[in-house]
């Protein structure tokens, strides 16, 4: 079972990052507008693996990304922090980025690299 609010929050964030409406995601994923809306609002009790797979494919991410808490990032935690999730989304559409988005992506990667290096050194 997945944490519905986490899945819904991730779907909503990914959809917003892409600039897609609910209707556009419906068309791309083959998941109904109503189901996506309920998922984003946390009203869907248990999204199926098929639904997660369809949504993930539409976004160009692995299905498990949708069920990962975006704000964790503690050492030893397998979850994806928000900035890395956003970077993954941006990388999947790198050819569509404008100059400002591209600079933000590079900055996010550089900041995360520095943090990983500090953590590795034990600072």
Is residue 24 scored above 60 in pLDDT?
Answer: yes
Other CB atoms within 10 A of residue 63 CB = 16
CB 47 within 8 A of CB 4: yes
What pLDDT is attached to residue 71? 54
What pLDDT is attached to residue 62? 83
Rounded average pLDDT over 48-70: 86
Rounded average pLDDT over 12-23: 87
Rounded distance between C-alpha atoms, residue 50 and residue 114, angstroms: 37
Rounded average pLDDT over 104-120: 79
By the 10 Å C-beta count (0-12 exposed, 13-18 middle, 19+ buried), 115 is classed as: middle
Rounded distance between C-alpha atoms, residue 9 and residue 39, angstroms: 8
Q: What is the pLDDT of residues 75-86, one digit of tens each?
A: 333 345 556 666
């Amino acid at each position: 079972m997945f944490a519905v609010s986490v899945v819904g929050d991730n779907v909503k964030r990914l959809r917003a990052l892409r600039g897609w409406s609910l209707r556009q995601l419906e068309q791309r994923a083959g998941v109904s507008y109503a189901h996506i809306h309920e998922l984003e609002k946390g009203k869907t009790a248990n999204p199926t693996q098929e639904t997660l797979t369809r949504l993930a494919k539409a976004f160009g991410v692995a299905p498990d990304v949708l069920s990962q808490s975006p704000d964790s990032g503690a050492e030893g935690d397998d979850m994806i922090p928000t900035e890395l999730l956003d970077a993954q989304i941006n990388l999947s559409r790198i050819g569509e980025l404008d100059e400002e988005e591209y600079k933000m992506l590079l900055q996010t990667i550089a900041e995360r690299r520095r943090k990983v290096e500090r953590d590795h050194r034990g600072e």
